[in-house]
Amino acid sequence: QVACSLELYDATPGREFSVLDYLFNPNSTRAVSSFDPAPLEVLSQVFFSRLVPVAGGTTRTEQGITAKQLLLVTNTDQVYALDRRWVDPRRPRKQKLTQDEMEEGLVPYQDTLPLAPLSFATLDKQVLGARGVLVEPTRLESTCLLLVQGVDLFYTRLSPAKGFDSLEDDFNYVLLLLALAGLLAGSGALQYLSKQSALKQKWK
């Protein structure tokens, strides 16, 4: 299966005018009309996929901060969650990335999209007659809810960027409480010693 990724960017050249330009050099400015279409720069990239999608969607969170995933409904009645960075047309065709490219989260270009069994949102289940997905955000920015529609229904929650705003189920709350109690006790002891030291200084 061949997939083509396109992204549109505003290619309007930057214009920096000051008040002095308008007053003393009016020829350096030019009229701008809202009726003129903005020039566009189109980036494209072609990928090969071992999956055959029949429908799709994207993850959606409350603030839109979390990195998105593409939700591909396959012809095998499953849903595959593909990180958007894998279909980014800006992926450079080189193995050694620059510092700016690494900060952008880009990965080197490969013509075949990755296929990881653990990335199936439906896990090892099949949703008979899967034909679409519904996605709703939750109060947690890291999490959204997914409903797969078909003859069957499948419901789950997704965390595209892991649960960065929630604690793990096996989080050690007892250790946290002990650490807080230790900090409070240490703070109280230091405050007491400080007062005693100040009192001794006054009596000298």
CA-to-CA distance for 145 and 64, rounded, in angstroms?
A: 14
- Given this model, what pLDDT does residue 184 score? 93
Q: What value, to the nearest 5°, has the Cα angle with vertex 117 and ends 116 and 121?
A: 100
- Residue 127: exposure state from Cβ atoms within 10 A (0-12, 13-18, ≥19): buried
Phi and psi at residue 29, to the nearest 5°: -105, 160
pTM for the whole structure: 0.70
CA-to-CA distance for 174 and 181, rounded, in angstroms?
A: 11
- Local confidence pLDDT in tens for the 204 residues of the chain: 888 888 888 877 665 556 666 666 655 556 667 787 778 888 899 999 999 999 999 999 888 888 899 999 999 999 999 999 999 999 988 888 888 888 888 889 988 999 999 999 999 999 999 999 999 998 888 889 999 999 999 999 998 888 777 767 777 888 889 999 999 999 999 999 998 888 888 776
